[in-house]
Structure 1
Amino acid sequence: MKFSEELTTAGQPILDEIIKHPFVQGIANGQLPKEALTFYVGQDFNYLNAFIKVYAAAIQKSQTRADMAIFAKQIDFILNSEIHPHHNFCNVAGVAYESLQHEAQAPGTYLYNEHMYNAARTGDLIDIVAAMTPCPWTYVEIANLLVKEGKNTSDNVFKPWIDFYANMDNPDDSILPEFFALIDREAKQYDRQRLDRVKEAFLKSCEMEWDFWDQAYYQKSWRFVEPLKQYH
């Protein structure tokens, strides 16, 4: 079994729980509270800003221009393409996208961002990619399942979201084959103990993907938010 397959096999139980989450089921059924949608967009905008910075760190740790090109392409994707699913949520919620681009990090977003930053600060290229892969992996899996279940019908207000991430599975659009190939290539130079640390980082990101949906659905902010407002 390839190491990338070992990672996704280990992460499958978490993915199963993500698919069952009420936020994801709301996408499937075309019904979600406005508050959940706006909270999600505000936090995901924040998260993707961190994602771009971690991609830049991956470029610094890349040894070839081919690897650099992978991450450069993904930076461009986030800046110029991944705004479309955000617009879908904003249109359904009836809010301007620009109004949600200055939200403070919620606790789950802060933890997830720091988890990725830590991989960039202290890890090798494989650590960075392992920490980042659960995001595109789970989204593509969710969208493909919803398409398979026939949820991307014209009367589902979240059809654009579903179609966007399902299309990411096309060989010309998906980052996953390149990420998995990079993980498998890099894994050959490490022993089992070291790979277990990589696997731990991957699984932590999988759990934080679940938590990201959960914090948006229930709008989980800081418990003592008032004292923190002066610092945002």
Structure 2
Amino acid sequence: MTLSAGLWVGSADLASAALASPFVTGIADGTLPHERFAGYVAQDAFFLEAFARAYALGVAHSRDRSTLEAFADLLAGVREELRLHDGYAARWGIDLAAVSPAPATLAYTEFLLATAALGDVGEVAAAMTPCMRLYAHLGQALVLRATGPYREWVDTYADPGFEELAATLEALLDRVAADTPGVRRAYRRAMGLELGFFTAAGESTAWEAGGSVGRQ
């Protein structure tokens, strides 16, 4: 079993909890309140900007050309996600520039940026892989049963192109990281922060428009 596969299996409990979270089940059956999804979009756009910066730090810290190119390709994928969020914002009147990060968002972004700035390349890859693998997993799990207004979200993460990006990051992790306690801690911590992000998105009214989300 590869390192990335073993780390994923080791965090299967957290992935299952994310799939069963009120936010994700509300996405699947279309019952998630509009305001809750708008809040998620705003918080996720803030998160993705930090995710892009972490990839950029991965580029800067790369020790060989193949690692540099992998991080650069992954950074381009985040730009596409940000364009999707810009589309949601334009249609629904979400002012992304007015977003204040919620505690769950800030905890995750601070962890990623600190790891990207101070950790070795293997730990950086370990910290960033759970986001990509989990979203691909959720999209593929929901694609055959998702209905309602959030189908575009599901289709985005069920798309083979997104799976390819997740696999690219896993291949990079397998190549640059050793199976060390630091790598395992980074992966597990990131997966736990993913679950915390989804939990906050589904249950906290602080994410709704009028709270941490500005409106045009």
Q: Structure 1 length normalisation: TM-score?
A: 0.81
Q: Following superposition of structure 1 onto structure 2, how do residues 174-193 of structure 1 map, counting pairs within 5 Å? A: 174-187=164-177, 190=178
For residues 133 and 97 of structure 2, what CA distance do their matches in structure 1 show? 25
How far apart are 1:221 and its partner, in Å? 4.7
Q: What residue number does 2:103 align with?
A: 107
Deviation string 1:173-212 (CA, Å, 9 cap, x unpaired) is 621222222212223xx4x5xx121111111111111111
How far apart are 1:66 and its partner, in Å? 2.3
Tell me, yes or no, if the aligned pair for 1:35 and 1:219 is still in contact at 8 Å. Answer: no
For residues 79 and 132 of structure 2, what CA distance do their matches in structure 1 show? 15
Instruction: Report runs of 4+ in structure 1 exceeding 6 Å deviation.
Output: none
Tell me, yes or no, if the aligned pair for 1:45 and 1:101 is still in contact at 8 Å. Answer: no
How far apart are 1:213 and its partner, in Å? 1.1
For residues 133 and 195 of structure 2, what CA distance do their matches in structure 1 show? 13
Q: What residue number does 1:28 align with?
A: 28
Tell me, yes or no, if the aligned pair for 2:55 and 2:75 is still in contact at 8 Å. Answer: yes
How far apart are 1:86 and its partner, in Å? 6.2
Deviation string 1:114-147 (CA, Å, 9 cap, x unpaired) is 1111211221111111111111111110110112
Tell me, yes or no, if the aligned pair for 1:131 and 1:202 is still in contact at 8 Å. Answer: yes
**Aligned residues with identical type, % of pairs:** 29
Please tell me the root mean square deviation across aligned C-alpha atoms, in Å: 2.3
| Total equivalences in the alignment | 208
What are the ranges of 5 or more consecutive residues in structure 1 without an aligned counterpart?
223-232
For residues 116 and 209 of structure 1, what CA distance do their matches in structure 2 show? 12
Question: Which SS does the other structure have where 2:92 is aligned?
Answer: coil
How far apart are 1:67 and its partner, in Å? 1.8
Q: What residue number does 1:225 align with?
A: none
- 209, 213, 219: which one pairs with 2:194? 209
Q: Following superposition of structure 1 onto structure 2, how do residues 29-44 of structure 1 map, counting pairs within 5 Å? A: 29-44=29-44
For residues 81 and 56 of structure 2, what CA distance do their matches in structure 1 show? 18
Q: Relative contact order (C-alpha < 8 Å, sep 6+): which is higher?
A: 2
Deviation string 1:138-185 (CA, Å, 9 cap, x unpaired) is 1110110112xx224xx5221111111100x34x86212222222122
For residues 85 and 53 of structure 2, what CA distance do their matches in structure 1 show? 21
Tell me which structure has the larger Cα radius of gyration: 1
What are the ranges of 5 or more consecutive residues in structure 2 without an aligned counterpart?
208-216
Q: Following superposition of structure 1 onto structure 2, how do residues 128-143 of structure 1 map, counting pairs within 5 Å? A: 128-143=124-139
For residues 186 and 74 of structure 1, what CA distance do their matches in structure 2 show? 15
Q: What residue number does 1:227 align with?
A: none
For residues 172 and 14 of structure 2, what CA distance do their matches in structure 1 show? 23
Tell me, yes or no, if the aligned pair for 2:45 and 2:82 is still in contact at 8 Å. Answer: no
1:106/1:121 CA distance change after superposition, 3 Å:
same
Q: Identify which range, 17-26 or 34-43, moves more after superposition.
A: 34-43
Is 1:118 aligned with 2:114? yes
1:31/1:86 CA distance change after superposition, 3 Å:
farther
Q: Structure 2 length normalisation: TM-score?
A: 0.87
Q: What residue number does 2:210 align with?
A: none
For residues 151 and 12 of structure 1, what CA distance do their matches in structure 2 show? 21
For residues 2 and 59 of structure 1, what CA distance do their matches in structure 2 show? 23
Tell me, yes or no, if the aligned pair for 1:18 and 1:24 is still in contact at 8 Å. Answer: yes
Q: What residue number does 1:157 align with?
A: 149
